[in-house]
């Protein structure tokens, strides 16, 4: 019986752990990789485009930050970082929002 309870506890722990945001952010890294964002961006430093950490710091305090960045990611554009132009990205609204939320979580 004791062993059975222990097994249950381990399963419960596994379920709880899989719901942690750590995994959500891992999914976002994979999405960013799949969509080739990371060909032009890095988290800590500038590449072709701005470092995601600085993007998060720049817009994080805006009340409409997620909305703003979702649109910005989908539509691309230029003139905000003096780094050239980002091409329009082929993303669903959900994907753009997931990436925007992930980038905003990188401020620290």
Residues in the site for ligand HEC, rule: CB under 6 A?
Answer: 32, 35-37, 39-41, 48-50, 55, 69, 72-73, 77-81, 83-87, 89, 91, 99, 103
Give the nearer residue to ligand HEC in terms of CB position, either 27 or 39.
39
| Structure tokens belonging to residue 20 | 């942690």
Q: Which is nearer to ligand HEC, 24 or 36 (CB)?
A: 36
In Å, how far from its chain's centre is CA 32? 7
Q: What is the distance between the alpha carbons of residues 87 and 81, in angstroms, rounded to a whole number?
A: 14
Q: Whole-angstrom Cα distance, residue 93 to residue 91?
A: 6
Find out whether 65 and 58 touch, Cβ atoms under 8 Å: no
From the CB of 10, what's the least distance to ligand HEC, in Å?
A: 37
Of 23 and 33, nearer to ligand HEC (C-beta) is 33
Query: If we measure between CA atoms, which residue out of 62, 63, 66, 57 comes closest to residue 107?
Result: 57
Pick 19 or 52: Cβ nearer ligand HEC: 52
- What is the closest distance, in whole angstroms, from the C-beta atom of residue 35 to ligand HEC in the complex? 4
């Amino acid at each position: 019986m004791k062993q059975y309870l222990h097994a249950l506890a381990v399963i419960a722990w596994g379920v709880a752990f899989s719901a942690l945001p750590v995994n959500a952010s891992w999914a976002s890294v994979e999405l960013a990789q799949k969509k080739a964002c990371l060909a032009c961006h890095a988290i800590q430093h500038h590449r072709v485009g701005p470092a995601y950490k600085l993007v998060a710091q720049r817009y994080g305090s805006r009340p409409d930050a997620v909305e703003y960045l979702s649109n910005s990611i989908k539509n691309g554009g230029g003139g905000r970082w003096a780094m050239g132009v980002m091409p329009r990205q082929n993303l669903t609204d959900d994907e753009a929002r997931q990436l925007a939320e992930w980038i905003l979580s990188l401020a620290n």
